[in-house]
């Protein structure tokens, strides 16, 4: 087995409990036996890891997600009703997922109103349910119909909890040259800025090659994307990116 070490715990060493051991420990837990509870928590950390792994694409530390999942596990243990005849894992997984989702929602960089978060949370649950039924990702319209909620409310709620991306987010072209998200966005608002009129910047631009000057002109005066610049100048986007970065480094040295 491949081991996973998370929060200092080697998951390959975690014990596996039989159904009889689970029932026995749960009975002891309900009587207040803390040692039994600790053993049960430790034995179920592999379950927490399996749930947390679904969220590892998020920009949060894996240890943080695992610890939040453990909180959900403890809540599941405290609230589990042994008389229902349901497997503990069946009850615990939604509790663990809910705790992680709450953490991600509450720690979003953009603050969202509680009413919008509630709609978003219900929409995420609906999306998961519909995905299992339809065997594909449901549309926003399908989610809205399932919730009996206006389309725009659901769309806005899901958009509100989406994690914002930095314009410096690295992306890649086909030839694997690294580029940033901002390189693909047209600036339609700041095309009249006069910051290049600064004397130091003028001196820096004077040292650039004609091609570098033209690239900076198209990028920062006209507000074109690197794709648009590459088409106008007649070179690849990757070359535009390299020349632009080189020219900006020259400018920075003059004004620093």
* pLDDT on residue 192: 45
> Which 8-state DSSP code applies to residue 8?
T
User: What is the reported pLDDT for 143?
Assistant: 92
Q: First-to-last CA distance in the chain?
A: 54
pLDDT of residue 191: 47
pLDDT of residue 142: 92
Which residues fall within 8 angstroms of residue 233, CB to CB, at 6 or more apart? Answer: 211, 214, 215, 218, 240
What's the confidence (pLDDT) of residue 166?
Answer: 61
Higher pLDDT, 245 or 165: 245
Report the alpha-carbon angle 113-62-5, nearest 5: 160
Which contiguous run of DSSP H or E holds residue 107? none
Say if residue 12's pLDDT is above 60: yes
Query: Which of 49-63, 74-88, 211-225 bottoms out in mean pLDDT, i.e. has the lowest?
Result: 49-63
Please write the tens of the pLDDT for every residue from 155-207. 888 877 666 666 665 555 555 555 665 666 655 555 444 444 455 677 778 88
Q: Tell me 83's DSSP state.
A: G
Q: Are 215 and 240 in contact (CB under 8 A)?
A: yes
What is the pLDDT of the chain when averaged over all its residues?
78
CA 225 to chain centre: 26
Q: pLDDT of 21-64, one tens digit each?
A: 888 888 898 888 999 899 998 888 888 888 888 877 656 777 88
pTM for this prediction? 0.44
Which residues have a Cβ under 8 Å from the Cβ of 67 and sit 6 or more positions away?
Answer: 7
What is the crossing angle of helices 114-134 and 151-160, to 10°? Answer: 100
Question: pLDDT at position 248, please?
Answer: 87
pLDDT one-digit tens code per residue, 59-80: 677 788 888 889 999 999 988 8
Euclidean distance between CA atoms 188 and 190, whole angstroms? 6
194 versus 240: which is more confidently predicted? 240
SS3 content of the chain, % helix, strand, coil (to 5): 65, 5, 30
Furthest-apart CA atoms within the chain: distance in Å: 81
Question: What sign has the CA pseudo-torsion 111, 115, 119, 125?
Answer: positive
User: Residue 200 has what pLDDT?
Assistant: 63
Give the C-alpha separation, 245 to 256, whole Å: 16
Cβ partners under 8 Å of residue 239, min gap 6:
230
Residue 142 corresponds to which tokens in the numbers above? 């399908």
What's the chain's Rg over C-alpha atoms?
Answer: 27
Q: At what angle do helices 88-106 and 114-134 cross, to 10 degrees?
A: 140
């Amino acid at each position: 087995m491949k081991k996973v070490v998370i929060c200092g715990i080697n998951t390959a060493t975690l014990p596996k409990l039989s159904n009889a051991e689970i029932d026995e420990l749960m009975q002891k837990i309900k009587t207040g036996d803390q040692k039994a509870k600790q053993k049960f928590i430790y034995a179920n950390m592999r379950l927490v890891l399996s749930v947390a792994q679904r969220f590892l694409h998020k920009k949060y530390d894996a240890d943080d997600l695992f610890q939040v999942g453990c909180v959900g596990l403890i809540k599941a243990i405290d609230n589990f009703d042994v008389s229902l005849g349901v497997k503990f894992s069946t009850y615990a997984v939604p509790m663990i997922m809910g705790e992680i989702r709450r953490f991600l929602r509450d720690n979003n960089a953009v603050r969202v109103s509680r009413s919008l978060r509630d709609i978003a949370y219900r929409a995420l649950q609906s999306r998961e349910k519909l995905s299992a039924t339809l065997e594909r990702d449901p549309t926003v319209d399908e989610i809205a119909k399932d919730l009996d909620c206006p389309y725009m409310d659901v769309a806005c709620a899901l958009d509100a909890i989406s994690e914002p991306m930095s314009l410096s987010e690295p992306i890649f072209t086909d030839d694997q040259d690294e580029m940033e998200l901002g390189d693909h966005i047209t600036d339609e608002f700041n095309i009249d800025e006069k910051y290049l009129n600064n004397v130091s910047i003028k001196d820096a631009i004077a040292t650039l090659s004609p091609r570098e000057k033209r690239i900076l002109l198209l990028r920062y005066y006209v507000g074109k994307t690197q794709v648009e610049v590459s088409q106008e100048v007649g070179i690849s986007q990757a070359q535009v990116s390299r020349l632009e970065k080189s020219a900006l480094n020259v400018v920075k040295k003059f004004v620093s």
